[in-house]
Structure 1
Amino acid sequence: MTGEEIKSTSVQYNMQSWSKQKGINPISVEKAEGIYFWDYEGTRYSDMSSQLVNLNVGFGNKDIADAIKKQVDQYCFVGPSYGAESRATLAKMLIDLMPDNMGKVFFTNAGADANENAIKMARMYTGRNKVFSRYRSYHGSSFGAGNLTGEPRRYALEPGIPGFVKFFDPYIYREPIKFESEEAAGDYYVAKLREQIIYEGSDSVAAIVMETITGSNGIIIPPKNYMPGVRKICDDFGIMMICDEVMTGFGRTGKMFGFENFDVKPDIVSFAKGVTCGYVPLGGCVISKKIAEYFDDNFLSCGLTYSGHPLGCAAGVACVNFYEKANILENVNKVGAVLKSRLEEFRDKYACVGDVRAIGLFSAIELVKDKTTKEALVPYGKDPEGIMGKILGLLKQRQFMTYTHENMVFICPPLIITEEQLLEELVKVDEVLAIIDKEFL
């Protein structure tokens, strides 16, 4: 097919996620390498969101491709009840990366069903039914993960499943209280969560589920004492602490897993995205030794046809090995410091930039109408004038490809990006922010 034929056929026959279908105009991709991809007219685009914050090692990674090919030559599939070398190897590798309290891995197909199975296991293990998650969260769009989600993408699933309870994020920028310190803010949010747990009946709560760092709802980085405070609540009431590491896992924040930034040990960790970087779909849950031991004598009512798919696990083994081989964490911390510094310059320079938040190569620019009032550039859950779409269009005109959500623009490039490449791309952001100040305020 030509590029135009691919586009027209896609529009005619494919349903595109999170979109009104009328007017969709997809780029037909002919080739891709590193942090770049090209359309059929030869235009080069920069992937500054790692596709869906999953293509951590970029396009065209030979190590992963070769591992997939080798597995194809051996066999493409055996069911989850059989022993497969790639499945066994990856499970051990993941446990070796985890804190010493973790015991086993249950593989899934992606992040949504990883979270579905995480809460399912927590409920079975505790015998309780309620699950807490935050308002500014996204955990997947399947029915359970969608009820776990707090932001507007959950609305289509409502009325929802009983037992899902929402609480507020430690979103200091938008908190009307003026805290004397970050530590004071952390204490406040932990105290409010403890109070809510008590009001809901602490002996009915199975799990508290959090994106370790809120992802598509704004890269909300909690105070240092927040996660330890939540850990103590869980310990005090026998609640399972589930960290959703679907976005933050595998180097995105400068640590292998996001929770390592806060010195806590979760009971369950859900993962996907960066485990294979999208080369083959794969996700899963890592569970503690105590939970694993419980299921030695109690029936595990979880199962998926493609759990631990051999091709996905082969990709995962190669991908995890590549993170170490290529010193990815070192690069994330080095280039991430440059990203954070430049974003802070944008915050100081432009009226439209209310706040910037960055950790590693995980960052967001929060756009406002007024820095003093902090009024968001678009209302929560709405964009009647299509302002964020227009801003995305301005970036696309400069071949800077990313996504927006609410009043945020996200910059989460592949973890292999160089400082030179990053600075080249941030010039484009600089240009667009100047236009926003001039034309949108």
Structure 2
Amino acid sequence: MDLDELVFHPWVAQGPRRVPTIVAGEGSHVVAADGRRYLDFSSQLVFTNLGHRHPRVVAAIKAQADRLCTLAPAHANDVRNEAARLIVEVAPEGLGHVLFTTGGTEGIEHAVRMARLVTGRPKVLAAYRSYHGSTTTSIHLTGDPRRWASDTGAAGVVHFFGPFPYRSVFGATTPEEEGERALAHLEQVILQEGPTTIAALVLESVTGSSGVVVPPAGYLRGVRELCARHGIVHIADEVLTGFGRTGAWFACDHEDVAPDLLVFAKGVNSGYVPLGGVLVGERVYRAFTERPYPAGLTYSGHPLACAAAVGAIEAMHEEDTVAAAARLGTDVLGPGLKRLAEKHPCVGDLRGIGALWTLELVADRDAGEPLPTGGPQMTAFTKACLDRDLLTLVLANRVHVAPPLNTTDADVTTGLTALDEALTAVDAELRAG
């Protein structure tokens, strides 16, 4: 019996799988049980920002394990305090406190709970074409089809359309027009739902796994202004984009936007030990200075996870990782992917920033018809990548390209060559069909 069959796997039908069994990793590569090395162009689920087995992070975990492995959250703790200090130092202005969680979906749950308690309002706005997690509130907030099987329509969530120039629902012809019309649409949603009924607006500062959509200039500032005008708590979901992924510490930094609450996870410690959290601004923090916050987590601020965060953030400062991610996007990944998009008819659109990109694959470039999820073309693409020792993140008809932020230019070139050959396989499937 394949022991992998003992594991109940998320997001897939249970049954035999044809995937490599990964047993080791270093830098931008992982190693399978048969000794085969794969270039990780996905950072797993876009979280190994510092790659695999970074020595600074591993050493921090080992040193903490020798002192103290776990501690209840009610106690004060030195490494927990230090992790909070380092996170607050790089956070947008005004976010001066941290509630630690074990992941992003818990962070979203707590941020929404805080907003509802502070405002006394029931509703929460979230965008279509978004992903916020898979627990009860976070899956309702999610705007893409991953929510459908669990969506009861009873979580007080109202969805709206964000800007998406490639598939504009507003009939816009320029990014500027798209941003303006998306803000006008959002304002109408707020007015028609009733501003005094809306506790929070949850928004990915750059759309992540639902399509890597970078908002037009001015859109995030416009959202922030609408929230401030109506007393709505602005919750920035930076679970996937935070800690350097977009070439800034946080994606909202590109527009100098400071939300009321900011949810993080993944890149805070490169995913080495599960950790997430909510950065809390003064408005929300003051509400709980004299009354208890009515929620908690057994592993909030787990010492091993916080030690990993301290090691990761210190390494990012020392190695100038955020600037490296920005350069990777402008000088290497962006230009290389643009050449592939121009060369291959199956690529309908290319979008991205920093070390976060997506190629949207289509059956017809002019019509923009998406390739079917799980269809022969997407299957051919995934197989071609694995045959060339490349790990990619494929969701629906999109190929997400998100290598570790410290990936070398040579490894990026190798990955782009493999993508080129895999896209050639898709082109061939389309011609044959």
TM-score interval (norm. to shorter): over 0.9
Counterpart of 1:385 (choices 360, 364, 375) is 375
* Correspondences of 1:283-432 after superposition (within 5 Å): 283-337=276-330, 338-378=332-372, 383=373, 385=375, 387-432=377-422
Q: Residue type of the partner of 1:436?
A: V
CA shift for structure 1 position 73? 1.3
Q: Give CA-to-partner distance per residue, 1:378-433, whole Å, 9 cap, x none.
A: 2xxxx363542332121111111012112100110011101111011101111111
CA distance in 1, matches of 2:360, 2:34: 33
Q: Residue type of the partner of 2:228?
A: D
Matched, 1:55 2:51: no
- Alignment check: 8 A CA contact 1:217 1:406 kept: no
Q: Residue type of the partner of 1:140?
A: G
Moved more, 77-86 or 96-105: 96-105
Q: Determine helix, strand or coil for the equivalent of 2:288.
A: helix
Alpha-carbon distance change, 310 to 19 in structure 1, aligned in 2, over 3 angstroms: same
CA distance in 2, matches of 1:439, 1:259: 40
Q: Residue type of the partner of 1:354?
A: G
- Alignment check: 8 A CA contact 2:374 2:396 kept: no
Q: Determine helix, strand or coil for the equivalent of 2:124.
A: strand
Q: Residue type of the partner of 1:141?
A: S
Q: Residue type of the partner of 2:284?
A: I
TM-score with structure 2 setting the length? 0.96
CA distance in 1, matches of 2:363, 2:429: 11
Provide the residue aligned with 2:176 in structure 1: 183
CA distance in 1, matches of 2:180, 2:227: 15
- Alignment check: 8 A CA contact 1:392 1:403 kept: no
Counterpart of 2:159 (choices 156, 166, 172) is 166
Counterpart of 1:249 (choices 233, 242, 247) is 242
Q: Residue type of the partner of 1:164?
A: V
- Which consecutive unaligned segments of at least 5 residues does structure 2 have? none
- Tell me the C-alpha RMSD between the 2 structures: 1.4
Matched, 1:123 2:116: yes
Matched, 1:263 2:256: yes
Q: Give CA-to-partner distance per residue, 1:325-383, whole Å, 9 cap, x none.
A: 111122112221211111111222111111101100000000111111111112xxxx3
CA distance in 2, matches of 1:366, 1:136: 14
Count of residue correspondences: 430
Provide the residue aligned with 2:72 in structure 1: 79
- Alignment check: 8 A CA contact 1:80 1:308 kept: yes
Provide the residue aligned with 2:187 in structure 1: 194
Q: Residue type of the partner of 1:49?
A: S
- Alignment check: 8 A CA contact 1:130 1:165 kept: yes
Q: Residue type of the partner of 2:297?
A: L
CA shift for structure 1 position 177? 4.9
CA shift for structure 1 position 46? 0.7
Q: Give CA-to-partner distance per residue, 1:268-287, whole Å, 9 cap, x none.
A: 00000001111100000001
Q: Determine helix, strand or coil for the equivalent of 2:297.
A: coil
Q: Residue type of the partner of 2:391?
A: M
* Correspondences of 1:130-141 after superposition (within 5 Å): 130-141=123-134
Moved more, 317-326 or 429-438: 429-438
Q: Residue type of the partner of 1:70?
A: A
TM-score with structure 1 setting the length? 0.95
Q: Residue type of the partner of 1:276?
A: N
CA shift for structure 1 position 229? 0.7
- Alignment check: 8 A CA contact 1:224 1:262 kept: yes
CA distance in 2, matches of 1:65, 1:384: 37
CA shift for structure 1 position 438? 1.9
Matched, 1:235 2:244: no
CA distance in 1, matches of 2:367, 2:336: 24
- Which consecutive unaligned segments of at least 5 residues does structure 1 have? none
CA distance in 1, matches of 2:62, 2:377: 44
CA distance in 1, matches of 2:270, 2:23: 19
CA shift for structure 1 position 25? 2.6
Q: Residue type of the partner of 1:307?
A: S
